[in-house]
Amino acid sequence: MTTRPQLLVVDDDDTILDLLCDYLARFGLVAHRAGNGAQMWAQLEARPIDLVLLDLMLPGTDGLTLARQLHASSTMPFIILTARGDAADRVVGLELGADDYISKPFEPRELVARVQAVLRRSATERPAAAPAPTARVAAKSESVAFEGWQLHREARLLTSPSGRQMPLSSAEYQLLTSFLRRPRQLVSRSELQSDASGRELKLASRSVDLLVSRLRQKLSTGPDTPSLIRTVRGVGYLFDAQPQEVPGG
């Protein structure tokens, strides 16, 4: 029997919590509830959670701070659900590592579709090996190395040359794998936007630039080290490294 996905809905409005938890249950999703940050952490410690639906306007510790803490401490996917829905807030959500951003009021069925999409990516998100031109197809390893860095695919974890480990959000992971599929090739913003379309999160050109900037910071080993992600003015970006599969990694 397939285990039902466990969700955590964090919102200080009891009416919204009741409606959301009841509606999500109709689609085979088990929804737990929390009204503030303290309750959120207590729920996360009490049971395995597959995805968090996080409101930004919360009493006490605000949702922005909770999103930062959640992103920094785990690879758990989360969706921001808030009445603050302008473009600037959407960009902030991406900067915080959110897997999606849904503005209130929303269509409940659309919310379920987005939740299911993020759950599918979280469960299966792993770059598929390109078909080989011959009959011999090598199995893709769990890790890929480049310039002393190592990306652990299943854990979505990045290890630096010094051994420091950094979790990646879905957006960061997908951006890095997009670059790894095209090493030392010019990649346009439109290509990166096209790669992101499967995440059902429409990225504006500015959002792509912000994601690149965030990933570039994570891939930095110091101010004097050349960036692995080069900006080609008027064209896009070039990932200046040659990835290698890590046997048994």
pLDDT in the model for residue 192: 83
CA–CA separation, 107 and 111 (whole Å): 6
- Kindly state whether residues 58 and 103 are assigned to the same domain: yes
pLDDT in the model for residue 154: 79
- pLDDT per residue over 34-61, tens digit each? 999 999 999 988 888 999 999 988 998 8
pLDDT in the model for residue 136: 31
pLDDT in the model for residue 22: 92
- Please check whether residue 129 lies inside any domain of the structure: no
| pLDDT band at residue 166 using 50, 70 and 90 as cut-offs | confident
pLDDT in the model for residue 40: 93
- pLDDT per residue over 58-75, tens digit each? 998 888 888 888 887 777
Alpha helical stretches, state H, 133-169: none
Domains contained in the chain, number: 2
Residue 135 identity: A
Other CB atoms within a 10 A radius of the CB of residue 9 amount to 25
- Kindly state whether residues 118 and 157 are assigned to the same domain: no
Residue 84 near residue 57 (C-beta atoms within 8 A): yes
| pLDDT band at residue 134 using 50, 70 and 90 as cut-offs | very low
- Please check whether residue 135 lies inside any domain of the structure: no
Mean pLDDT for the chain overall: 81
- In this model, does residue 143 exceed pLDDT 60? yes
- Kindly state whether residues 174 and 241 are assigned to the same domain: yes
Task: Provide the domain limits for residue 231.
Answer: 143-246
The CATH number of the domain holding residue 209 is 1.10.10.10
pLDDT in the model for residue 88: 65
| pLDDT band at residue 127 using 50, 70 and 90 as cut-offs | very low
Q: Residue 77's Cα: distance from chain center in Å? A: 6
- Kindly state whether residues 170 and 116 are assigned to the same domain: no
pLDDT, greater one: 191 or 131: 191
CA–CA separation, 165 and 75 (whole Å): 12
- Please check whether residue 131 lies inside any domain of the structure: no
Residue 47 near residue 73 (C-beta atoms within 8 A): no
- Kindly state whether residues 21 and 120 are assigned to the same domain: yes
- Please check whether residue 136 lies inside any domain of the structure: no
- Please check whether residue 28 lies inside any domain of the structure: yes
| DSSP 3-state of 238 | strand
What average pLDDT score do residues 90-97 get? Answer: 70
| pLDDT band at residue 159 using 50, 70 and 90 as cut-offs | very high
pLDDT in the model for residue 120: 85
pLDDT, greater one: 234 or 43: 43
- Kindly state whether residues 31 and 62 are assigned to the same domain: yes
- Please check whether residue 96 lies inside any domain of the structure: yes
What average pLDDT score do residues 208-219 get? Answer: 84
- Kindly state whether residues 114 and 148 are assigned to the same domain: no
- Kindly state whether residues 213 and 116 are assigned to the same domain: no
- Kindly state whether residues 110 and 185 are assigned to the same domain: no
